[in-house]
Structure 1
């Protein structure tokens, strides 16, 4: 069984913000594969289904970004999913909106949601798909930038990014991660 986690913040005011691009990616993936995100426990909303013949759980933690590990750890324990079978999708300020990057491990890089995952999962060896949201233009502060909705002028690019993230997450199911990184990075 595989687990794909999108990081974000719960609540309507965060729905289309840059910080919630992980949630948007999970929603797009769920729609593509007909997986309903109707389960609600372990401080998360999630759904299970099949992708490429493999059972998969798609997860959106409801703990707020900085506490994401509190939702993911118990869910992995319940389903007996190993950390190596997890892909985490989240926003990255250091990549422009149209860019994505797969990583097999590493530090949190200043991302508090990833920091929480590393803390609760006990390892930095967490596969991740980082979706670029870019740095804010002056004088906008980072915290304000990530909590801003995407501009109308960014919607076409955002839809391409989400479509690409669906393809990458789908291929994660049956492709060795090194091959996945070589294909998409």
Structure 2
């Protein structure tokens, strides 16, 4: 079973904020697959069948590792089958990238997941949000109308890549979507 987790902050005040690009991507995946994240456990929501678990932690960003660790352990999911989706300020708005491993790069949610799982060998899709002057205000700020249109296009293609990952190796997905994200 593959575990696909999108990172974000819970609550309506954080909807459509830059830091919730992971949640927005999970919502697009659920829409395309016709599934609902209606199981609640481990302080998160998810959908699960025999092949996939699509999830969103309902903790705040810097506690995302607790949820990922709990669901991974409960369903005995190997680290090699985990994919995390999150926002990245080091990527320009309109870009995304797929990586097989790496550091947290200053992202507190990914940092907590790496700490709780004890490895940087975690697959991820990073959604570019660009960079603002005040980091906290920027990531917790909502997208402008024009930026929202751009991010929705990136999320659409990124969700296709993640859906492709469900039944394919990550290297296949990286090759297929190279230059499209």
TM tier relative to shorter chain: over 0.9
97, 114, 119: which one aligns with 1:123: 119
The aligned counterpart of 2:69 is 73
- The list of structure 1 runs, each at least 4 consecutive aligned residues, that deviate by more than 3 angstroms after superposition, is none
Number of paired residues?
A: 178
Q: 1:181, 1:29 → 2: CA distance?
A: 18
- Trace 1:76-95 onto structure 2 (pairs within 5 A): 76-95=72-91
152, 158, 161: which one aligns with 1:165: 158
- Trace 1:1-185 onto structure 2 (pairs within 5 A): 1-49=1-49, 55-136=51-132, 140-185=133-178
Please give the root-mean-square deviation of Cα atoms over the aligned residues, in Å.
1.1
Q: So what's the TM-score if we normalise by structure 1?
A: 0.92
1:184 Cα shift?
A: 2.1
* Structure 1: gaps of 5 or more residues: none
SS at match of 2:51: strand
Aligned partners of 1:35 and 1:48 also within 8 Å: no
SS at match of 1:5: strand
Aligned partners of 1:106 and 1:125 also within 8 Å: yes
* Structure 2: gaps of 5 or more residues: none
Q: Which stretch shows the higher mean deviation, 98-107 or 156-165?
A: 156-165
